[in-house]
Structure formats: structure tokens, C-alpha cells
Structure 1
Amino acid sequence: MSGRWDRERVLAVAPDAAAAKAAAGVARAASWAGTGCDDAAVWGECAGSGRTAYRAAVDLDEPAYRCSCPSRKFPCKHALGLLLLWSEGAVESGPRPGWAAEWIEQRRDRAEKARERRQAAAAKARDPRTAERREQRVDGGVAELDQWLRDQVAHGLAQAEKAPYRLWDDAARRLVDAQAGALAGQVKGLAAIPRQAGWPDRLLEEYALLRLLVRAYQRREELPPGLRETVRSRVGFTVQQEEVLRDGERVRDSWHVIGSRDVAQDQLTTRRVWLRGRESGRPALVLSFAAPGRPLDASLPAGARVEAELAFYPGAQPLRALVADRLATTPAGAGAGVPAGLTVGAFLDEYAAALGRDPWLDRWPALLSGVRLARNGGPRIVDAHGDALPLLSAEPWRLLAVSGGAPVTFAGEWSPRGLLPLAAWAEGAAGGEGEGAGGEDGDEGVVIL
């Protein structure tokens, strides 16, 4: 059997603190019957308030969760409670019951069919005639967007300020029809720019970046290979995971998981997990996606350290990656350690260099050491040199409560509008999900912000 999870790893996959607390209430052997496990799954039946017990199972490979209870949380308290029992050694090995075996086999079948569909789509995309037709459609859509952008500037931004969202939605729809999906998403996002002070400047900046992307795509054959791949990706040409795992740049390191963020948009939830290489100092972004009500990948909890080899997607500034080979995971508070951060000045130099390679970068992971929270002029992070970055948080009190005003190691997601807090490592911090995990071997506690 593969190694059992420890308690910290189980609680790290809880959707919120309430679910983690409720799981402790059902993690009692007396509440369960028919429990069992093997090298890929855990299952059992938990007594509920009614006559019928709730059947819960966990596919450990992904992981994925199943429970017959009506909860909309994934994983629910029953699946979490079952995992807690299993982590404590209270679940013995045994054969799968029919209902658990059926669920796991169905999952395997769906995964295999999805893999076959991806392979078929990749084969179709490699067909020269299909690729040529796609290029022609995208060329037409990009040319139309070029004219649309020039028209918006010629008509003036004052008119755009009074325009309905349909102005950008219609342009985005035409790009979807032209099979330039990523470009369509950027155009549609213009409607969400807050119409407040500085709105015209912000809109003009976005128009300029889109025009730069349009011109770069139209002259893509003149670009260096890395930048050409970046431009194609920003327009909507995707690279299959199989290609990334086969041909992508590989980096083996001890990766600190410095934070994650979930974003829901267009009936799809995206989880962005940020990592930092302990030896290489290299940042990485691992994405996962899920439809509403479906669980997201929880195998990279914030604060953990993962010994792994990552495969990076091609580009002028390779950032997005896949976990190609995972060797070991050290949970937060179990010796994962504190990642080495930068000063504010060094971070801005790093970001400027990355932006020079990819002008369309809209976010970048910030990992800062020895910083404090300041309130003068709005919430800010300040380092020992007095350099500061603004926080995109109207309520930074959790960070203040954790640090007590003392310096911390801070992780955030940076955009030109400020830092979105993700996590902090502070001496003496301790607690559960959403609060912190105390450390061993000199660890400071990590707190999810």
C-alpha cells in the first residue's frame, strides 16, 4: 500500500475550516461500518441522521471524492472523516465492495475516454489541412480585432464609458467564432474594469496591450521561438499536456507551495497554485480546472514542500508547468521549512525582467522576506529598506494578528494594481485550516491569508 496521508495532508484538502471541524466529529470508528482500503482507494459507510448510512469513497490517485450525503462541499465531512480514520490506521485493507468498485471503475473509464479524446483532438490539430483552416480563421479574427481597436480609440474613450457591456461581449463572440478563445477572454474582461477614477487610463492600457498582441501575432514569423509560442498561447493556440510532458523543459527541485487562489468564471473554476524552487529560485504556476460542484486538485496544499520534477509549457517566460514526477511531499508544519523570499526591490527587478520577456503577464508570484504590514496611505507591505508594495485587501487584519507587527515571510499574487495576499510564515503561528500550521525543526507556522 502507498503511504497513508498524515492528518495535516487530510485537513489541507478540506474546502473550508467548517468542513475540517465537522470532519473531526465523524472521524470516530463507532460511526462507521464496512470500511476498507487498498493501494488506490478508501471507502466506508457512515451512520447519518436517517435510516440509510452515507456511502463515502476516496480515489487516492487524483484524489477524487464520492459521498451519498446531500452536501455540496467537495470533499464533504464524511469523506474527510473517513480519511482521518485511515490516516490514523483505523481502516484495514480489504476487497472493494461493489458500489465502491463501480464508482472507481467508472472514473477510470471516463479518464481513459478523456485521454483518448485529447489524443484524437491532438491528432486532428496536427493534420496540416485542419491546422491551415484554423490559422486562416484566427488570422481573420485578429484582423477584425485590429480594426475594432482602432475604431475604439478613434471614437474616443468618453463614448466607451457610456457603452453597455455588449460592446465588448460582441467583439469577444466574434473572436470565439474565429477560434481565438484566449484573445476573446481578454476582450470580454474589458467590461469588468471598474468604472471609477482612472478608468479611461486603465482601458487605454488594455487596448494598447491588445494591439501589441495583435501586431505580434501578425508578425509572428519574425519573432524568436519562445516569444512566438507566448503570442500563440495568448491568442488561443493550446499545447497538449502530453506534448508538454514529452518536450517541455524539465526542472527538478524542492518546490515550496507558496499559495493558491480559486477563481470562478463562465461555469468553470480555476485553481492557481504558485510554487517556488528552493534551489533554483524559479517560480512556477500549476493550474487545475473543475466544473461547478466538482472538486479541484488538492494535492499541492499551501505551505507544503514537494520534491518533484516540473515540465514547463513553452514560452518566452516559462511559468505554467505540470508536475511530471513527484517524489515526496512534506506537509506544512512537518519540516517543510520557510521559503527564502526577496526584498521588495529585488522582487520588482525580477518582475521587470519577466515583463520584458512577456509584456502580457497579468500576474506574478511575490515571495518577500522580512516584511511588515503598514497602514499609512492604505495597507502596504514594507521591507527593512522602507520599500513598499500596496495590498489588494481592505481587511489585512489576519496578517496583522498573525505577525503582531513583527517581520514575516509573505507570499502574494502581484498585478500592476497591487498584491493579493496568499500566505505568510510567522514565528509561533499555529492552528488549523485557514489559520496556520505550527512547525517542527525550526519551522515557522504558515498561515493562509
Structure 2
Amino acid sequence: MLTFTEEYVDSLAPNASAVKNGWGLVKKNQFVVLQKSEDGSVLFGECIGSGKNNYLTSVDFFGETPTARCTCPSRQFPCKHSLGLLYSFLNGANFTTAPIPEDIIAKRAKAAVRREKKKEQPTNTHKVNKSALTKKLKAQLEGLDVLDRQLQQIVRAGFASIDVKKLKGLEETAKQLGNYYLKELQNELREFQFIWQQNLSEEEIFSLAFEKVLLLYSITKKGKEHLTKRLEDQALVPDTGTSIEEKLGHIWQLAELREQGMTKTDVELVQLSFSIIKSDARKEFIDLGVWLDLADGQLYFSKNYRPYRAAKHIKEDDSIFPVASIKELFIYPGEGNRRIRWEEYQLGPAPQTKKIISMAKQNVTEVLKQVRGQLRLPLADKYPVALISFSKVGKVDEQWVLDGKDGTRLTLTNGTPAEIDTLSIIDLLSNQDLVDGAMLVQFYHELGTGALSAKPLTMITPKRIVRLLG
């Protein structure tokens, strides 16, 4: 089954116009034939064009990177017809199953020969089309200027001035950001809009809006600095020290991460938490897993994005309870809990709960210090997770608290009003589950008071693992 996102397709486009024109073909129903191979490795079809005959276009996922082919005269690769084919798939169009065309099979064979010859050449350099990349970076800078002006208007007028008309204007700005290759910022701005659509108090709305504006401003400021430096650098080297590339819409390929040394080998992971987030602002399902590395105790995130309109085409992640053995683990650039990905894994025995507890942080005070340090980083996740060892979990004045091994007390919370209530599930656990164990928590920062609280995600006892998110 094919698994790719709209952001990934956008990253293949030679320019913003190609993205717009590709979607234009979909909206105008220009594709008269849409087909896919039985193994899902190739999409192909026919598109009405300006010529007498329909254009035959295809995208082949047989190799390491997709190969787009089309009979149109365009010199852009991929052309708008190939991009439109991919967007049609993401848009949920009906692709009938058909045999792979003979010409594609023949071209695959020739490509295989070229790959074998390439392997014999002593080079590991990742080739970059510098001209196309330069154009993209300049377009992104223009998009950041558009967003910067919008943010300044919001700050000058104040949150109280935001009404239906201004929210509609923000949607127009969000659409523009997509044309500037700033898909992630487009999503962030739409999440800002969505705050006003939730059933929240004015205080809660303004608090969430302030947090989102700070993030948008930070990405805009650092994004401008970063893109300017990259344009001045003839090597055009991507930043692997922070998450700025991803914030600006870069889709990291596994080959890139491997080339940059962002991998670990022979890793054993335990999934401590799994949830599916329904984001109406992004119009996506997000399959979110939290994983523990059994070698060094590091916590990681796995994320699988499934746009609403393409959800039936993208395989949904699932809960995994046994130990997962991974030959090559890919680690995304970022701050705090890093995102991970892999190509394949093998399931082993059930995890040993006592080993997991032994890897939990004993010093709650030190954890809080690290969390506050992460929150000060402009681009870092504002809801970090930690695995904390506890001596006891219980209620004090009707408030759930965690007492750490170092004597520090941590207030527990349910997070935002829209989130799943996990504290009520703790009420159902036995007293034995509430002593001498470990808890996976997600931190929340109260902007007004500066206080930190933690949402329980998973309880690990000497005998079992209790996932509170279901």
C-alpha cells in the first residue's frame, strides 16, 4: 500500500506553480483514466491536455525515489500531470487496478542497470539541484515576509479584535503559505484560527493564542535567518541541529538522514503510549507513539500523518506491545524528544516492566529543570514527555499528585479541556499499582503562573503496563 503525504508531493514539485497547476487538474476533473498496479508500486493514468491525444502519465515507486513520467512536452520534472496524478490519489479518487504497462516495465529494467552501475562508483554524495533549491528558498523567504506582516497586524490589534472577518483573512494567508512551500506554517496558522472555533473561555482562548503566536513568530524569525544563511552558503547544507528545516516544510528522506549520520543500528524499542489525534485544523489524523530505547533510556516520538481525504489510502499505525527490534533507526533533527522512523522491524517478547522502571528518571527536580530548559527553546515541543520513577501516586486535597523518589511532588493534570481524561482511570487502579513504579507523563506549562503540571499517559508497575490513553 502506498503511503505518502501532501507535503511529500509538494516537496517533489519544481516550483509553486506546478503545485497549483497539479491541483487545478484534479479540481477540473481532467483525469479520464486513473489506475494503479496490484502491488501498489505504480500509479498511472490519462489526463486531458492541450494536444489531440490524452497525456499518459505515471509515478513509479519501484526505486529508492519515485520516478515520474509523462508524454506531455513539459520540461519540468515532475510535470503538473504527474503531480496531479499523486494529488488525485491523496484526494481519494478511485484508482482501478490494472497490469503495469509494458513501457514502464522496460524502463524499470533500464533503471535497474543504471543503479547497479552507480553502486560501482565510489561516491556517497547526495546530489542537490541547486538552482531549483535556490528558487524554493527564495520563495520561502517571501512567504515568511507575508506571515510576518500578518503576525504584526495581529499583535498590534490584539486578540480581542479577532472576528469572523479577520479569521477569513487568516485563512487566505494560510492558503498563500502553501504556495510558498511553507506547509507546516500553513498548518500552524490554521491551528491558530481553530482556537476561536473551540468551546473555550476567553481566558483559555487568549492563552492558547498567545502560545501559538510566540511559536509562529519564533519560526518566522529563525526561518528568515536560516534561509538567508543557506542562500549565502554555496554548499546549501541543511540544518540538522534543530527542527527548523521541518518547521519550514522540509520532508526528510531516509537517505538524507542516513547521509547525515542521523541513525542508530540494532535498536530495541518499547512503545509506552499510542494515540490517534484528530486534528480538524490540519484536516489530518496523527498516529502518535511514544517509545523507550531499552539501551539508553531515550524517549522518542513516532508520527504518521493521514490527511482526512486520503486516510483510506494510508495505513494506520497501531499499538505495539512486544519489544520491537529495529535494524536501522532513523532519527529526525530536533530538540527534546526526537521523532523517529524505520523501514521494518521484528517483534520480540513482552517487555520486562522492572527494566523499564529501572530506566525511569529518579530525580524529579532534575527532570523539571530539563523541561523548563526545553520550553525556553523557541522551536522545541511545548509538551515534552518524561518517564519518572515514583514512590507513590495519590490525592492531596482532591488533587492527584506524584511523589518522586527524591521527595519532589508533581501535580498531575488532564491537560487541555479537549483531551482525554486519564486521571479518572487512575482511580480504578489498585493501591499496589500506585507505589514504587514509573509513570510516563506529558508536561504542561501554565503561562500565567509559570507552573508545570504533568498529564499521566502510562503507568508501569512491577507486574504490568497500564496505558491510560486506551
Instruction: Provide the TM-score with structure 1 as the length reference.
Output: 0.62
Deviations 1:136-172 (A, max 9, x none): 2211110011111111111122202676642432221
Q: Cα–Cα, structure 1 residues 204 and 155, in superposed 2: closer, same or farther, change >3 Å?
A: same
Preserved CA contact (<8 Å) 1:209 1:360: no
Q: Report what 1:304 is aligned to.
A: 322
Counterpart of 1:170 (choices 164, 169, 172) is 172
CA distance in 2, matches of 1:358, 1:325: 33
Counterpart of 2:188 (choices 182, 186, 191) is 186
Write out aligned runs for 1:175-324 (5 A): 175-193=177-195, 194-220=200-226, 226=239, 229-252=242-265, 253-265=267-279, 266-290=282-306, 291-293=310-312, 295-298=315-318, 301=320, 303-308=321-326, 309-315=328-334, 317=336, 319-323=338-342
- Unaligned regions of 5+ residues in structure 1, if any? 1-58, 63-103, 428-442
Preserved CA contact (<8 Å) 2:278 2:285: yes
Q: Cα–Cα, structure 1 residues 228 and 235, in superposed 2: closer, same or farther, change >3 Å?
A: farther
Preserved CA contact (<8 Å) 1:304 1:330: yes
> Is 2:410 the partner of 1:410?
no
Q: Indicate the SS of the match to 1:148.
A: helix
**What is the Cα deviation at residue 109 of structure 1?**
3.0
Q: Cα–Cα, structure 1 residues 113 and 158, in superposed 2: closer, same or farther, change >3 Å?
A: same
Write out aligned runs for 1:33-432 (5 A): 106-107=38-39, 109-110=41-42, 113-114=60-61, 116=63, 118-120=65-67, 126-160=128-162, 165-193=167-195, 194-220=200-226, 226=239, 229-252=242-265, 253-265=267-279, 266-290=282-306, 291-293=310-312, 295-298=315-318, 301=320, 303-308=321-326, 309-315=328-334, 317=336, 319-323=338-342, 326=345, 328-332=347-351, 338=357, 340-342=359-361, 343-356=363-376, 359-370=379-390, 371-374=392-395, 376=397, 378-384=399-405, 385-392=407-414, 394=421, 396-404=423-431, 406-407=434-435, 408-416=437-445, 419-427=454-462
Q: Cα–Cα, structure 1 residues 395 and 412, in superposed 2: closer, same or farther, change >3 Å?
A: closer
CA distance in 1, matches of 2:334, 2:62: 25
- What is the letter of the counterpart of residue 250 of structure 1? T
CA distance in 1, matches of 2:396, 2:63: 54
CA distance in 1, matches of 2:367, 2:240: 23
CA distance in 2, matches of 1:135, 1:387: 48
Preserved CA contact (<8 Å) 2:223 2:244: yes
CA distance in 2, matches of 1:208, 1:168: 16
- What is the letter of the counterpart of residue 263 of structure 1? I
Q: Cα–Cα, structure 1 residues 196 and 117, in superposed 2: closer, same or farther, change >3 Å?
A: farther
Preserved CA contact (<8 Å) 1:338 1:425: yes
Q: Cα–Cα, structure 1 residues 155 and 354, in superposed 2: closer, same or farther, change >3 Å?
A: closer
**What is the Cα deviation at residue 234 of structure 1?**
0.8
CA distance in 2, matches of 1:189, 1:181: 12
Q: Give RMSD over aligned pairs.
A: 3.8
Deviations 1:259-318 (A, max 9, x none): 1121123553221111122231212112223443454133x61x4333334221234557
Percent identity for Structure 1 against Structure 2: 12
Preserved CA contact (<8 Å) 2:290 2:300: yes
**What is the Cα deviation at residue 115 of structure 1?**
5.4
CA distance in 2, matches of 1:191, 1:413: 25
CA distance in 1, matches of 2:169, 2:429: 45
CA distance in 1, matches of 2:240, 2:365: 26
Deviations 1:67-115 (A, max 9, x none): xxxxxxxxxxxxxxxxxxxxxxxxxxxxxxxxxxxxx982353599345
Preserved CA contact (<8 Å) 1:381 1:390: yes
Q: Cα–Cα, structure 1 residues 329 and 167, in superposed 2: closer, same or farther, change >3 Å?
A: farther
Q: Cα–Cα, structure 1 residues 289 and 215, in superposed 2: closer, same or farther, change >3 Å?
A: closer
Deviations 1:112-147 (A, max 9, x none): 9345594448x9793223212211221111001111
- Unaligned regions of 5+ residues in structure 2, if any? 4-35, 44-58, 69-76, 79-126, 231-236, 415-419, 447-452
